[in-house]
Amino acid sequence: MTTKFYFLTLFCSLFLLVGCKKTSYTDVQKLETMHSLYVQPPLSKPQKVSDSLAVYIDYSSGMYEAMYGSLQAVVNEVLTATRSPRTNYYRAGATFPYRIDIEAKENIPSVTTNYVEKKSALDLPLQRIISRNEQAVYITDFEFVPTGQKIFEGATPSGRVKTWINPDAWAVEYFEKWLAKGNRIDMYASKFMRNGTQTQFLYTLVFTPKDLVNQQENNLLSRLQDLNGKLSANLYHFVFQAATQTLSTETKQYDANNGGLHTSLAPLEFARKPALAFEYYLLGFKDIDKYIVNEGTEKDKRILKNLFWKCEEQHLKNLKDFQFGVKVFDMTETFAAYQQTQDQEPPKYDKDPETGDSTLVSGQTMTFQYVEGSERTDIFESIVNKETNELGLKVKPDYIKPNKKGELLRVEWHLKGAKFEENPDLAKVLQWKDKEGFMVRSLYESIVEAMKRTEKNNTKKLHTYYVQWQ
For the cut 50, the answer to whether the pLDDT of residue 15 exceeds it is no
d(CA 468, CA 405): 9
Comparing 47 with 56, which gets the higher pLDDT?
56
- Is the pLDDT at 26 greater than 60? The verdict is yes
Per DSSP, the chain holds a count of helices (H) and strands (E) of 13, 23
Kindly tell me if the per-residue pLDDT of 4 is higher than 70: no
pLDDT at 7: 34
Report the share of the chain in percent with pLDDT over 90.
58
Q: How many residues does this entry show for the chain?
A: 470
pTM of the full predicted structure? 0.83
Say if residue 73's pLDDT is above 50: yes
pLDDT tier at 144, thresholds 50, 70, 90? very high
| Residue 71: pLDDT over 80 | yes
| pLDDT at residue 40 in the model | 84
Under the banding of pLDDT at 50, 70 and 90, the label for residue 47 is low
Instruction: State the Cα–Cα distance between residues 443 and 142, nearest whole angstrom.
Output: 7
Phi, psi of 90 (to 5 degrees): -130, 145
Average pLDDT over residues 295-319: 85
**What's the rounded Cα separation, in Å, for the pair 202 and 67?**
7
Looking at residue 239, its pLDDT comes to: 95
What is the pLDDT at residue 49?
A: 65
Rounded Cα gap, residues 102 and 82, in angstroms: 12
Residues contacting 120, CB < 8 A, separation 6+: 58, 60, 62, 63, 92, 93, 94, 140, 143, 144, 145, 146
Instruction: Name the more confident of 306 and 353.
Output: 306
Please give the pLDDT value at position 10: 33
Residue 217 has pLDDT above 90, yes or no: no
pLDDT given at position 285: 85
Reply yes or no on whether the pLDDT at 414 is more than 50: yes
116-142 residue pLDDT tens = 998 899 999 999 999 999 999 999 999
**Average pLDDT, integer, range 69-90:** 92
pLDDT for 9 equals: 37
- Which stretch of DSSP H or E encloses residue 70? helix 63-70
Report, as an integer, the average pLDDT of 432-452. 91
Question: What pLDDT is recorded for position 23?
Answer: 45
